[in-house]
């Protein structure tokens, strides 16, 4: 039950540190820059402190390492931290250099790819290149292509989680719901070190939600969203549950697909499929309140996570 200790420590640290971090971020003028192409009513969020993910990153790292120093725990924590660093640099450029788009898409992708490549090569060297297939007794051996596959999974996950971060409390809530599946999967499959890291993530994000739920007093920024995507993808890779991540993380996937469909449709036909993308903005334009979007998306994730756990062999 060491994972319970990890969860509690992370929750307490985040709940205590975040209200201290908020005025510090305000003093540094680390306020959110609202994109001009987003919903017009989001303009009132301009200046809300961002980079609040630093609080739960600190808490989750401390909690995880206090409870476990296993290779499993270190892998998940380090991968998350490295993606978090990429997000931090992006946030820093946005809020300090006042460049709303952050650093270039190509530079961001290269940095993410380096982290993903390192993680995938490490797992391959550790003789892990098989992936479990949900709902059946069996796994698929990718061989050397495992490196490419894991890179794709990690890059897709971190960027999907990042795209989901556009409504107060949405990424936090959906991430916790998705992480619950991987936590219970880690317990069932006896990945104790992974369970410790995931429990710390859940505790930290729940502590952050106290201040991030509508109306948000602080945003996690790319620092937090890329970190969470890194934690989820690293945990999935460590346990060979990459395919399950597609199901449990369907909300994240749908956010990315909505952007791809929107851009493709507009370029080919000049017409938009959604009122606005990513998907959560479409529902906002349909009149859904932010709290309803968070509630529905989180419930969907919980249901899919339960289905994933049932199909775990």
Q: Which tens digit of pLDDT belongs to each residue from 2-18? A: 999 999 999 999 999 99
Q: What is the CA radius of gyration of the chain?
A: 19
Specify the pLDDT at position 129: 81
* pLDDT, tens digit, 9 for 90 and up, residues 59-104: 999 999 999 999 999 999 999 999 999 999 998 888 777 666 557 8
Cα separation, 12 vs 265, whole angstroms: 46
Residue 37, exposed/middle/buried by CB under 10 A (0-12, 13-18, 19+)?
exposed
Q: How far apart are the first and last CA of the chain?
A: 22
Tokens representing residue 95 in the block: 């809020």
Tokens 């290149």 -> residue:
129
Task: Determine the Cα–Cα distance for residues 278 and 296; give it in Å rounded to an integer.
Answer: 16
Residue 45 has pLDDT above 70, yes or no: no
| 278 neighbors 255 (Cβ within 8 angstroms) | yes
Q: What is the mean pLDDT of the chain?
A: 91
Contact 275, 282 (CB under 8 A): yes
CA distance 213 to 167: 9
Q: What is the pTM of this model?
A: 0.93
Q: At 258, is the pLDDT very low, low, confident or very high (cuts 50, 70, 90)? A: very high
**Cβ(273)–Cβ(262) under 8 Å?**
yes
pLDDT in tens, 139-197: 888 999 999 999 999 999 999 999 999 899 999 999 999 999 999 999 999 999 999 99
Task: State the pLDDT at residue 191.
Answer: 96
Per-residue pLDDT for 42 more than 60? no
**Model pLDDT, residue 75:** 97
Bridge partners (DSSP) of residue 130 are 141
């Amino acid at each position: 039950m060491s994972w319970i200790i990890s969860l509690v420590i992370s929750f307490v640290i985040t709940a205590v540190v975040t209200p201290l971090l908020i005025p510090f971020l305000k003093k540094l003028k680390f306020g959110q820059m609202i994109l001009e192409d987003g919903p017009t009513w989001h303009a009132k969020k301009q200046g809300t402190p961002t980079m609040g993910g630093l609080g739960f990153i600190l808490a989750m790292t401390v909690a995880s390492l206090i409870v476990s120093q296993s290779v499993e725990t270190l892998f998940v924590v380090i991968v998350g931290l490295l993606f978090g660093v990429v997000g931090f640099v992006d946030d820093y450029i946005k809020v300090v250099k006042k460049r709303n788009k952050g650093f270039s898409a190509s530079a961001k992708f290269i940095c993410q790819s380096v982290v993903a490549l390192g993680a995938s090569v490490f797992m391959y060297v550790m003789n892990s290149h098989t992936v479990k297939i949900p709902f059946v007794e069996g796994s698929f051996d990718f061989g050397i292509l495992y490196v490419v596959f894991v890179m794709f999974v990690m890059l897709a996950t971190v960027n999907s989680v990042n795209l989901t971060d556009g409504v107060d409390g949405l990424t936090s809530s959906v991430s916790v719901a998705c992480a619950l599946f991987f936590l219970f999967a880690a317990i069932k499959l006896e990945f104790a070190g992974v369970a410790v890291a995931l429990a710390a993530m859940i505790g930290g994000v729940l502590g952050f939600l106290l201040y991030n739920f509508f109306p948000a007093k602080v945003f996690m920024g790319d620092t937090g969203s890329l970190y969470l995507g890194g934690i989820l993808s690293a945990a999935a890779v460590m346990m060979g549950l990459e395919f399950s991540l597609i199901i449990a993380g369907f909300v994240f996937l749908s956010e990315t697909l909505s952007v791809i469909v929107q851009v493709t449709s507009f370029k080919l036909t000049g017409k938009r499929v959604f009122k606005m993308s990513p998907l959560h903005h479409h529902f906002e334009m349909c009149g859904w309140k932010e709290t309803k979007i968070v509630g529905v998306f989180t419930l969907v994730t919980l249901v899919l996570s339960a289905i994933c756990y049932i199909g775990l062999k």
